Amino acid sequence: MLTRPLGSRVPVTYDREFVDDYVPNQTCLVPAFIADSLYQAGRAQGQQPAGTVARKVLEQLLIDLSWYSSRLEGNRRSLLDTQELFARGRGDASDPDVTMLLNHKEAIEFMVDSVPEEGITVPVVRNLHALLMQGLLPDETAAGKIRRRIVNIDGSVYQPLQVPSLLEELLNEIVTKARLVRNPIEAAFFLWVNVSYLQPFEDGNKRTSRLSANLPLLLYNCAPLSFLEVEAPEYALAMLGVYEQRNVDLAVELFETTYRRSIDKYRVALSSMGTPDPVRARYREQLGDVVRQVVGNGKPLSKSIQSMGLFGQDLEDFTRLVREELAHLEIYNCARYRLSIPAVERWISAGRPGAEA
């Protein structure tokens, strides 16, 4: 029925019962056995701070999620183009494909940085949209703003809701309910389909929904979701099932398949990193503080380390670790220290001042 000509399909509009009737931890969009299986396969072992897995695989995640998500929007750049673009940190600002990729990168960095502190909130979702769509909207003030214009879905008879006050109310309801769901797989799926179904923004709703799906996964320290190997026709068909029939079967099938690919890929990436450095694990926060002091604040490394109050072997090991990190700090891996690309570029151009202990 979804593949029949548009003229033979009955037009439909937004059905708010799809979210109103959803009761967190009672209603299941993803069958419970699938959600539980994916959670067991994707979650990190042991107690770790929220977002630890995503930070460890951040460099790969930036490329994967940026490229696969952009490809679903018709982006013509290759995976190799994306890797080279991110290594440079900049590209042709007049090329919308380049802008789309760099926007994804910035939005993912924001997401990984903010979710452990902010959690799943409406401001986080709206900021994701603002970052994803900067430089791509006819009206720049529409970035992150609930839409006031009519939108139409290409290839569908679905007509989204058009009342701004209801769009804002329902987005709040969606995020609130997602926050209450205990299984992060169910929460991720709920956010993905509902943000896309609601279409709260003028453009970029599907992009925003894909990144929003990662919020519960980051918060619960599960492998991120990159939509690996998903093709545009199968993605569109899964969304049509939701839009026109409120039927999530095709979306569940697509979600399970691509998330298992993500789990496998990032498990290998984590394994290839070997055994974690115990010094790095013990002084993770202090390491970030020192790097930010040197690069962001221009404080000499020796003085920054002194403020840590370390002695003996700990001081020696920590100093070695910081010097190694500063020596390998580049614009493509600076997000893990919450440093901006321009700040790191200036520091590198100046000859990495303060990096010698």
| DSSP alpha helix (H) spans, the chain | 17-20, 32-42, 52-56, 58-71, 79-88, 96-118, 122-133, 164-180, 184-198, 205-212, 214-219, 232-245, 249-271, 278-282, 284-297, 301-306, 312-328, 341-349
Structural tokens at position 43? 């979650």
Q: Following CA atoms 233, 234, 240, 243 in sequence, which dihedral angle do they give, to the nearest 10 degrees?
A: -120
Indicate yes or no: pTM above 0.85: no
Would you say 101 and 82 are in contact if contact means Cβ atoms under 8 Å apart? yes
**Residue 328 CA, distance from chain mean position:** 24
Would you say 1 and 162 are in contact if contact means Cβ atoms under 8 Å apart? no
Instruction: Name the superfamily (CATH) of residues 6-271.
Output: Fido-like domain (1.10.3290.10)
**What is the mean pLDDT of each successive set of 10 residues along the chain, which is 357 residues long?**
84 97 98 97 80 84 96 96 90 92 96 91 97 95 94 94 97 98 98 98 98 97 96 97 97 98 90 63 79 87 82 82 85 81 88 78
Q: Which residues pair with 222 in a beta bridge?
A: 43
Q: What is the pLDDT of residue 309?
A: 79
Q: What is the pLDDT of residue 279?
A: 67
Would you say 187 and 238 are in contact if contact means Cβ atoms under 8 Å apart? no
* Total number of residues shown for the chain: 357
Q: What is the pLDDT of residue 185?
A: 98
Q: What is the pLDDT of residue 351?
A: 87
Q: What is the pLDDT of residue 276?
A: 55
Q: Return the domain boundaries, the chain.
A: 6-271, 278-349
